[in-house]
């Protein structure tokens, strides 16, 4: 649990779970070749303000090319209440 969670009320902690759930859902769909950003955004509707949701190259942190040819990260930052929360998942390509 993030140290920032101590700033959240019980209700805000419940809504903040959407960040990890959204990224995890996108990770699950990534394994099946689905579109990541729309899937993650669908889960992030309960946060107060989404600051960013980006798919970036795992090495350079520049925007990732699609389709992915290298490891990438799906990164999110959002506000729940007045607390800024960040999370990410690493997307590793399957080995041939």
The answer to whether 53 and 73 are in contact (CB under 8 A) is no
Q: What mean pLDDT is predicted for residues 43-55?
A: 92
Q: Report the alpha-carbon distance of residue 52 to residue 30 in Å, rounded.
A: 19
- Residue 72, domain extent: 3-91
Q: What mean pLDDT is predicted for residues 59-78?
A: 87
Residue 31 confidence (pLDDT) = 63
Q: What mean pLDDT is predicted for residues 42-52?
A: 92
Q: Is residue 22 part of a domain?
A: yes
Read off the pLDDT band of 81 (50, 70, 90).
Answer: very high
Q: Is residue 96 part of a domain?
A: no
Q: Is residue 87 part of a domain?
A: yes
The side-by-side arrangement of strands in the sheet containing 72-80 is 49-57, 72-80, 83-91
Number of domains in the chain: 1
Task: Say which CATH number the domain at 58 has.
Answer: 3.30.1300.10
Q: Is residue 72 part of a domain?
A: yes
Cα dihedral: 16, 73, 61, 64 (round 10):
-120
Rank 24-28, 30-34, 38-42, 53-57 by mean pLDDT and report only the highest. Answer: 53-57
pTM tops 0.85: no
């Amino acid at each position: 649990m993030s140290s920032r969670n101590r700033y959240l009320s019980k209700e805000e902690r419940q809504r903040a779970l959407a960040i990890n759930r959204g990224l995890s859902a996108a990770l699950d769909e990534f394994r099946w070749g689905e579109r990541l950003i729309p899937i993650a955004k669908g889960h992030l509707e309960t946060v107060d303000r989404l600051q960013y949701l980006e798919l970036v190259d795992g090495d350079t942190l520049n925007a990732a090319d699609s389709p992915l040819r290298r490891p990438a990260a799906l990164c999110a930052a959002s506000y729940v209440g007045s607390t800024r929360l960040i999370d990410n998942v690493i997307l590793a390509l399957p080995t041939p």
